[in-house]
Amino acid sequence: MTLPAISVRSLVKRFGTSTVLQEIDLDVPEGKVSCLIGPSGSGKSTLLRCLAFLEEASEGMITVNGEALGFFENSKGERERLPAAQIRAVRSQIGMVFQQFNLWPHMTALGNVSEALKTVHKVPKAEAEERAMVQLTKVGLANRAGHYPSQLSGGQQQRVAIARALALSPKIMLFDEPTSALDPELTGEVLNVMRELAAEGMTMVVVSHEIGFAATVGHQISFLDQGRLLFTGPPSEIFAKPRHPRLEQFLDTYLDRGASMLA
Amino acid sequence: MIFDPNVILKHLPEIISGTGVTLALWLAGMALGILIGFLVATLRRYGGRLIDLPLGLAVEVLRGTPFLIQIFLVYYGGPFIGISLDPIPCGLLGLSIYAAAYYSEIFRAGYASVPHGHVEAGECLGLTQFQIIRRILLPEMALIVLPPSVNLAVILLKESAVLSIITVPELTTTVSAIGSQEYAFLEAIFLLAIIYWVIVECAARLGRLAETRLSTFRFAAS
């Protein structure tokens, strides 16, 4: 087994006086799909946002392919912040997909996908748009390139958002409840794109309420509850009976929501 | 007293010149006000509490006191602290600062109107804060800040009449003088109202046109 794509050690996240993540240790294996599941407020989205450096961990270390993300431990053993350019360099290995898509409404689908190539990577416009089209084709939206987000369905918007992240060729893709804002019919098309990505060997970390997706596509499942990572393992182990009582209780709520095959 | 339009025709060159001064001061004051206002809003957003608090206080004072008093203070109080300005530069300075206070609030609301996730998406893709402002925040807030900006422009034009108090040779000063000189107050006041109203109407129409243009991309319900 090679180096983990992301490694989290003793991560603590506090908002003011409340601790939302306590002593999290997690290894995200390369080329695999890791799913974070757990009830609302368990801290799984916060953990993912820490991996994207959208939240700064209060304590602990995160390394991405061996490089420290945001903070490192200096020779005296103190936690020190890395310079902004270095933080950006490590972050550039990571693509992020949001629950609310967060497409820029004043740009077309093509504009959204090509924007960072043009402004950040200084790729000439024609080449940037060509590369953006490749990604839009990949998510099945080549014929929607000229549409503004408001002219696209939720599922299409989320697929554009995935293409936008993929355009920068990230090594790791993070998904924060990518289908929670979609109705069941549109959920499928987004999950299909994610399945294809997984089949190509993309390293993925997925926060999702789609237990079915986690069980069928996920290689590693982590269950969080009240800010603690209760356990991590392959789906066969996690969902095998007898289960941890807290997980059993959590899964019960899914029985009537399409995950009945796990009962 | 009869209404005599000949008075107006006789003084047409002065009226045109006064209108020119008003238009120039208004447009320049607005441009500077937008620039400074945007800078203030941006500094308040990114600069931390130490910058936000004093700037916020300055904005509140400027918005909480009459323009008439502000312009008096700058013109007649300025010399006491070594700032002696001629009426026109003084008027421009006063108008710009007054405008900046209000524009900064418009831009503050504009910044707040952009969902934070749109900024986060930019951060995740490696855009710098400056690129995020230029490529995401400014274009996205454009439609939000346009209507109050046009509204403020209209208010500024009318407030610029206050500059007559410090003898700026603008429209109100010029036309009032003609009124006194010719003993034709009604004609003068009537003409003043008409000219201001025509400029306001043009500005409002331009604003609506810009709004329609900008609305070609509608905001996604997210």
Nearest-Cα distance to chain B for A191, in Å, is 20
CB atoms within 10 A of CB B54: 11
pTM of the full predicted structure? 0.86
Q: Which domains does chain A have, with CATH numbers?
A: 1-93+196-258 (3.40.50.300)
Q: What per-residue confidence (pLDDT) applies to A164?
A: 96
Do the domain assignments include residue B37? yes
The domain spanning residue B203 has which CATH number?
1.10.3720.10
Give the residue on A whose Cα is nearest the Cα of B215. A106
- How many domains are contained in chain B? 1
Write the secondary structure of chain A as one string of H (helix), E (strand) and C (coil): CCCCCEEEEEEEEEECCEEEEEEEEEEECCCCEEEEECCCCCCHHHHHHHHCCCCCCCEEEEEECCEECCEEECCCCCEEECCHHHHHHHHCCEEEECCCCCCCCCCCHHHHHHHHHHHCCCCCHHHHHHHHHHHHHHCCCHHHCCCCHHHCCHHHHHHHHHHHHHCCCCCEEEEECCCCCCCHHHHHHHHHHHHHHHHCCCEEEEECCCHHHHHHHCCEEEEEECCEEEEEECHHHHCCCCCCHHHHHHHHCCCCCCCHHHC
The structure tokens listed for B102 are: 């209000």
Are B125 and A88 within 8 A, CB to CB? no
Amino acid B81: pLDDT:
86
pLDDT at A126 exceeding the cut of 60: yes
Q: For residue A183, what pLDDT band results from cuts at 50, 70 and 90?
A: confident
- Closest residue to B140, CB basis, from A52, A54, A106: A106
Asked which of A47-56, A76-85, B49-58, B194-203 is least confident by mean pLDDT, the reply is A76-85
Residue B193, in any domain of the structure:
yes
Task: Name every chain A residue with its beta carbon within 8 A of the beta carbon of B142.
Answer: 106
Does residue B65 lie within any of the structural domains? yes
Binary contact (A119, B136; C-beta < 8 A): no
Question: How far is A95 from A92, CA to CA, in rounded Å?
Answer: 7
Test A115 with B221 for CB contact under 8 angstroms: no
A210: closest CA among A244, A175, A240, A166?
A175
Give the percent of chain B with pLDDT over 90. Answer: 59
Distance from C-alpha of A72 to C-alpha of A78, rounded to nearest angstrom: 8
Separation of alpha carbons A60 and A229, rounded Å: 15
Q: Which of A79, A82, A28 is nearest to A51 (CA)?
A: A28
* Phi, psi of B122, deg, nearest 5: -65, -40
Residue B12: domain span: 6-214
B221 lies in some domain: no
- On whether ipTM exceeds 0.85, the answer is yes
What single string gives the DSSP state of each residue in B89-119?
Answer: HHHHHHHHHHHHHHHHHHHHHHHHHS-HHHH
Residue B1 lies in a domain: no
Residue of B60, B63, B43 whose CA lies nearest to B111: B43
pLDDT classification of A260: cutoffs 50, 70, 90: low
Mean pLDDT of A184-203: 91
Which of residues A253 and A35 earns the better pLDDT score?
A: A35
Interface of A with B (CB under 8 A): 52, 54, 88, 91-92, 94-96, 98, 100-106, 115-116, 119-121, 148-150, 157, 161, 164-165, 168
B222: in domain: no
pLDDT tens digit sequence for B78-135: 888 888 888 889 999 999 999 999 999 999 999 999 999 999 999 999 999 999 999 9
Nearest C-alpha neighbor of A93 from the set A47, A59, A51: A51
User: What would the pLDDT profile of B184-214 be if each residue is shown by its tens digit?
Assistant: 788 888 888 999 999 999 999 999 988 888 7
**Is position B220 within any domain?**
no
pLDDT category of residue A220 using cuts at 50, 70 and 90 = very high
Q: Is B195 inside any structural domain? A: yes
Among candidates B120, B139, B218 on the partner chain, residue whose Cβ is nearest the Cβ of A102: B120
Q: pLDDT per residue over A236-251, tens digit each?
A: 888 887 778 888 888 8
Q: Calculate how close chain B gets to A174, using CA atoms only, in Å.
A: 11
Look at residue B221 in the predicted model and tell me its pLDDT: 37
C-alpha span between B36 and A4 (Å, rounded): 50
Q: Nearest chain B Cα to A94, which residue?
A: B124
Separation in Å, CA of B169 to nearest CA in chain A: 44
